[in-house]
Structure 1
Amino acid sequence: MAIEKSLIQPEPVISAIINGDNTGVLKINGEEHPYEAPDVNDLRQALMKRVIGEAATLNRPVRVTSMDDSGVSYLVVSPTGEVEEEQPTTVPEDASTIMERIPSIRAATTTVEAAKAVTTISREAASAAPSAVAGTTTRRSIREAESFLAAPSTVEPATQGIRGMLNSLGLSLAPSEDELSEREDIRLASKHFAGTRTIAVVNQKGGSNKTPTVADLAAVFGRNGGSVVAWDNNPTTGTLGWRTEQGDHSRSALDVIANAEALLSPTAQSADINAFVHHQSTDKYDVLRSDSDVDGTHEVTAEEVDILHRVVSKYYRLILMDSGNNHRSAEWNRMIDHADQLVVPTTNEEDRVEAALLTLQGLDLKSERSAGLAANAVVVVSERQEGEARLSQETAEKFRPYVRDVVVVPFDPALKSGQIRFGALKRSTRRAWLRAAAAVARGL
């Protein structure tokens, strides 16, 4: 049964702030009530129980504005515990400004200013609540009618934030804008292209985060159903093999070259490549390592890069190529010849940023094709250490006029050393890499 909204009155003004550390503040007519719980679901239930109690005391529905990591929600709560989502017909200018400053508000949830900001949203949302409007039917020519089958796709209910929690209790609230954005990024990262696509990850300066960028992008694409190989196209021992799982063998790209004829034969089977690559058990992609012999002397030629690319193109739909730092070498330049999309990683350190710029400028001058790759590039700025979010954003802004997209990845200690496992990253870091993978997919 729908909640009778005509019974709602301007008072009380109720707002709730839910923090990522399982603390929250419920404000009722200016009076703050702090809450803390073992986990976020318990916290939301405690806040909702208090709101239902307020409605029961008044014996009428109340409005509540809730803010969490997924954004701002406008809810109507009845005395018997029914909850409905409400969308204002317009968002007041002041409320829009507040919503744009949600990160700063969330960081100050124990202050009077934060509570006042959310209360502003509550009051203005209430004044802009939808009202019933009577309409009239106008006759039109049947020729103007669009197909009745052209209805919008059904949107699955929210699974995140307070809306997701309420849906787990039996409601069916729509997802927030943040959740819809994440779903769109997942859709892009899950896309299957007609033919193999090659992504080159390049920066002519070492320590610019090339290998973590390859591993994390490969993990996003692999976890979302892609057929993905991360190829260490390095003239010497590359670090991709050090930062990822090793299979039950030690084979490398040189072994693939030696066995290329058999792997490319019409009788070869899809599982044959498993003898030469190293599968990442949780992140669902494979690694083709560079030669790791300390006394090795073989240098991969441009022609051998062609052979390797033919082999991996036969067995995988998506190829991510890690690279060395010598942009004049044969294997580096042939990698560019095979690339469909360029990713230029950098930290926010000045020399890495300058090297990223020089890499793009060099490709712009090399040929018409490589200039197109540079203009369509995705730059990934990884924070070197905590507390450098502002510097990273400033770095990103330097590149935005010159490339297709720039994504900032926050600092994460799980990326500093050792094997890279996507599931060990913080949620904010995983979200940033998903955003980066979606940006890459848009260019494919």
Structure 2
Amino acid sequence: MSATASSDLAVSVPAINWQSDDMKSRRKRRYAADRRLQAYGLVAIIFALGFLALLISSLIYTGHSAFTQSVAKIEIDLSTAGVDRTKIADADWRGIVRGALRAQLPGLSRSDERKYFEMFTSSGQFIVRDAVVADPSRLDGKSTFTIPLADPFDQLAKGQVSRDTPESQRRVTDQQIGMFDQLVSQGIISRPFNWALFFNADSRFPELAGLAGAISGSFWSLLVCFLISFPVGIAAAIYLEEFAPKNKFTDLIEVNINNLAAVPSVVFGLLGLAVFLGWFGMPRSAPIVGGLVLSLMTLPTLIIVTRVSMKSVPSSIREAALGVGASKHEAIFHHILPLAMPTIMTGAIISLARALGESAPLLLIGMNAFITSPPDGVFEASTALPTQIFMWADSPERGFVARTSAAILVLLGFLVLMNGIAIFLRQRFERRW
């Protein structure tokens, strides 16, 4: 082909004037679109952070009062109470406590005394009895005991009951307010930190209710969940990633695993109710059942995370191990899995954090029973933090409103702690290739 023919076939490209008004207009529109995109993202972040701040601040505003408890410090001389040291629990502790309370405001009539005793928790006699049983040396003389105030007077001490409200519209009478003021002037009433919120189990009385049973139940349930889902999830991921043949059957398994990761948690609760309680007859409300249900819920996520972390390990490491004579299982367990373990542990902790906040499956298997003592093992009836929050939120007592918000803050604290551990493990041990 001649040079003339080649030049005829060539396509002439017009020169572009980058400084023309049209190109300047196009650049201006593109830059404006970039700025709008940045503004949209910034507005979205501010919007999300604003709602988060609103949520946290509302919880703190509602629940901060639950972290303190109004109590009365009463001095009791047990040396003159006539308590038999061999039968301490059988003594008339109700009469002893009421006698000590009566000494603080002497001269009250019988009807006034009844209103006066209503100011203190009805379990005061058991608090004193248990303290003496734990330390019998208190019988030798005077001792100071801390008795919580009843919930209406705890709210009065915290300013949540207005004195300006008409007497007919509040649970605290004017006479009881006068008695309360007298005790305050004597220095008997104080508001220390409410350790009972963490070390007491649930109670019908808000001033005594705590999260010890729920925290223990969540701990045992998560322990069962971890001991089942962690080894099973890693083993399943290793098999699917390294040994399973690539066919329609394994493709079906992978699709089902991905789908199970998105199944609502209430479905797993129905499965646990039908299988573990219905067919196997396992104990209702026990952490062993809760842990099994939560492990079924976290297994798909853990399998997916493990497979992704194993894929992120460079294939050259596997090939190098096989090249120097290592078997396939030696290459996996001595080289691939240790390098993938930081990401696997991070995924496991995040999965456990999600399981900690689940309430629907635990409600279906009965972990919302009224339990007055923390469980000592996985086979004893218990509650969990989410179900305890659900029960307190449904309680008609006004004192449980603050405790519900406080329990949510405690749950959020555990979730933040677990996610913080996951972030630390990822940054501390993760390797970038």
What TM-score, normalized by structure 2, do the two folds share? Answer: 0.26
Q: Which has the higher helix share?
A: 2
Larger Rg: 2
Q: Which has the higher strand share?
A: 1
**Looking at both structures, which has the greater relative contact order when contacts are Cα pairs under 8 Å and sequence separation is at least 6?**
2
